[in-house]
Structure 1
Amino acid sequence: MDREELLHATPEEDGEPQKKRESPLVSLEKDLEFYADAIKEVAIEIMVEGISAYPIFIAHQHEVNIGELILNKEELNTEWTIQASTFEEFVEKGIISKEKKEPFLKVYKKPEDFMCVFVIVPEGANFIYYPYKKGRK
């Protein structure tokens, strides 16, 4: 699933009359734009320090037990909290199964150009790649 599909996805209705609800991912895009420089700095640090060649950032609105907190929505008055992690931690915790390691690495986009974000919403979770340069001159 790509970023466009996620951003324009509509949540399933539970028998209520169809109302147009804004996807929470619209606010995520706004926050990622706001956080982009800080996230890129952390990604470069993770790679330069030899921690991992594959940084992964977790975007969530609740609490998660993976990665390290880098951007707290409460402190920054935003909608999403971001935690920094790595491909290796995702494999170790079983989020990426051993069988999926190769396919994941084949589609992993250049971390200097894209942030790899594991987005967690009540309906589930998925990876998206968000470009750092979006909307920048």
Structure 2
Amino acid sequence: MNAEELLGNLHEGGDNKPREKKSPLISLEKDLSFYAESIKEVAVEIMVEGISSYPIFIAHQHEVNIGELILNRADLNTDWTIQASTLEEFVQKGIIHPDKKEHFLKSYKKPENYMCVFVVVPEGANFVYFPYKLS
């Protein structure tokens, strides 16, 4: 599976010119704080139901073809949509190569304390761990 299939069409406008804009991570932090209780409930449900011990949440502002929609930015008047997935789906879809699974597991933080978020932006995607409660 290639990036376009996974991420859908992320490029708006075809000029490929760099755009000056503030970091999307500022609004992501705000939304994750707002969503934290709901995301934790889904993470616990994924683990308790035996679906996976490794829930992963996808944060995006475009269309992605992985996971199940749990929090829609259009419905909630926020900047980011959140979808729920698992390590197993990430391996199945080829986002995490099977050879890199052990490396990923070593860096995976306790899902009781942190949400594992795969952040998708037009420039690419990366994993971040966001604590459920900021001190």
Q: Same fold by TM-score, threshold 0.5 exceeded?
A: yes
Query: 1:22 deviation in Å?
Result: 1.6
Structure 1 residues 117 and 15: alpha-carbon distance in aligned structure 2, compared to 1, 3 A threshold: closer
Please, which runs of 5 or more residues in structure 2 have no aligned partner?
Answer: 1-16
Encode CA deviations 1:13-59: one digit per residue, 9 max, x unaligned. Answer: x578xx6x420110000000000000000000000000000000000
1:76 CA displacement: 0.1
1:70-95: CA deviation from partner (whole Å, max 9, x where unpaired): 00000000000000000000000000
CA distance in 1: counterparts of 2:75 and 2:18, whole angstroms: 37
Q: Distance in 2 between matches of 1:133 and 1:15?
A: 35
Once superposed, what is the RMSD of the aligned Cα atoms?
A: 1.3
Amino acid at match of 1:68: E
Other-structure match for 1:35: 35
Match of 1:133 in 2: 133
Partner of 2:105: 105
Partner of 2:70: 70
In structure 2, C-alpha distance between the alignment counterparts of 1:106 and 1:31, rounded to whole Å: 27
Q: Classify the secondary structure of the residue corresponding to 2:64.
A: coil
2:8 paired with 1:22: no
Q: Kindly indicate whether residue 114 of structure 2 is the aligned counterpart of residue 117 of structure 1.
A: no
Gap regions ≥5 residues in structure 1: 1-13
Please, what TM-score do these two structures have when normalized by structure 1? Answer: 0.84
Please give the secondary structure, in 2, of the residue aligned with 1:32: helix
User: Aligned residue for 1:45?
Assistant: 45
Amino acid at match of 2:127: F
Identity of aligned residues (%): 75
